[in-house]
Structure 1
């Protein structure tokens, strides 16, 4: 056997994503480079690790066992690296954060300086919806979560980070054809475009419509904010979306804000954690970083 650590990492990522393309994207490699490394890795075993049937990847029982071993080896390498950093008196460890989908536009700005000053820290970010974010907190899978809706539970503590403004938006041409914009017209014309059940943005949108006395509407449901944005830009309908995810499209004239009573809706981005969780040194350091630097970061990147 003459496989490399790089081959183990690539193989494990392919197994985790069940896709050569997704593995290549997450590893910042080309798809051919990943395919070659998988081929070279497979050549060292007489038993198949994965099978490709109809362009879909299936991991064999033997391949699953190898993936478990690969994960253990990689964890041991991380442990060696952490011990090296510890002898240098540097902060080390992993920080795990789950964020709602629009949180991906917020969190990186609060991470950059922290990671630059603590190069022994590794970060794992899971981008999902509100329901799954709370599931990850309840199951102690993450250190923190980033949400923009109310918590409504005594189990969690939080730090307020940033205001989140949501506006009604549409394709500029489509919006110009309906300047009065009566919500009641949606059963006849274009639909309102919603996120899936479990999404915080959907919950905010439904609460707003209920306050306006609007109940029965023609709806289109999509699974991500990016999909909603693309659908609105294409003129398929209207939606209520966070400003932070649509700034460029507004500047470019691909989207238009439609002013209506009760808008914009203003919520707050919150970094939250389970009160019973014992934070690691890395988690404590990141919390201190947020408290110390949040005003500076807001002024620099979000005003």
Structure 2
């Protein structure tokens, strides 16, 4: 395979002149440019983009760590990152983690080895302190409130919208309220916040039989509703963690020819709009765009984006 030295020998110019001509990075006379272009065409030479990027100290690659794409939280954030990255001419590499801490550490080591300019963690299993230690190798961005950790972060500011939602539900006179969550509060900061806000408004946590975790899809919502029906513990109101999930719950009640409890979704999905469900939009597309901006600039700061309650 030909290299710059081969082109320089055949063209009769120095490797530095050949490099400038190929990369259009400095002055080259018209005669030299024409001669070098001819040799490049004859040898069918193409620059090694990876080597060139590394020599310039960048890869134009941003890795995005996601546990899965079964919930709109991840798909909307990822789409926001893609939109911003495309405009900035960056490549985005999807890195599935399945909440496996070893996989996540492996991606951080790839950052250390310069496979990426930056990593964006949409969610994580490893401690925030571990992310912080790798900032010296490249930008590391998390999509959650990092608290006291000095990390680049952007996230949906959920609590005010959750407070509004639970106060509205309480004002309607509902007391036996069911919740669906993606993960348990032991593993998820979002679940912790949801339950803490619920307790703040209602003075207690929901009854254990009304709380369902590992719910991320339409089918998961359907199964949760089946369990409530079979247990005879049908709630007065259901606060779900996604409009598609709420649609699954609704469909189960309809299939059983039972009255559908009032529902609230999240993420302002098409299903919720078609069904006229009240919802909370967390503006995750904007979170993704802000996450990319932090990854591209390397700036260490926190950008909260307020969530919004939509009543229908």
- Name the TM-score, length of structure 2 as normaliser: 0.41
Q: Relative to total residues, which structure has the larger strand share, 1 or 2? A: 1
Larger radius of gyration: 2
- Name the TM-score, length of structure 1 as normaliser: 0.42
